[in-house]
Amino acid sequence: MAMKIRLARGGSKKRPFYSIVAADSRMPRDGRFIEKLGTYNPLLAKDDEKRVVMNMERVQHWLSQGAQPTDRVARFLEAAGARPKTVRNNPKAGTPGKAMAERAAKKAARSAAPAAEPAAE
């Protein structure tokens, strides 16, 4: 059985609240899980200690059993010091999308056109 430590969404519409759970990877996101390991409340301030609450003993137990944390849970574990920090590389993060590239090309063409033609006085 492939185990994951992941987030299960709760809360009402536009008021998210997540449980950190150990679940079989084949189960749906908010479906059946084996054990609740903690909570995550993204509406709280980033420096609030109640934003992410985890039972680290149980998390370490599941990690030792071979459970793989999802990207978001891995970041929580890195912040808690339970996992070493990993280097992330997203080279496309700073490149503009197709629409923005078209707008930039139009703007460059407009600014170059008046400079090429001198104003007649």
Domains of the chain by residue range: 3-80
Reported pTM: 0.72
Is the model's pLDDT at 19 over the cut of 70?
Answer: yes
- pLDDT by residue (tens digit) across 38-93? 999 999 999 999 999 999 999 999 999 999 999 999 999 999 988 888 888 888 88
Give the residues across from 12 on adjacent strands: 15
> What pLDDT is stored for residue 117 in this prediction?
59
* Average pLDDT of span 99-108: 91
Backbone angle region of 96, left / alpha / beta, with phi > 0 → left and psi within -120 to 50 → alpha? beta
Does CATH place domain 3-80 in 3.90.1150.10?
no
Strand-strand pairing, 52-54 and 15-24: unpaired
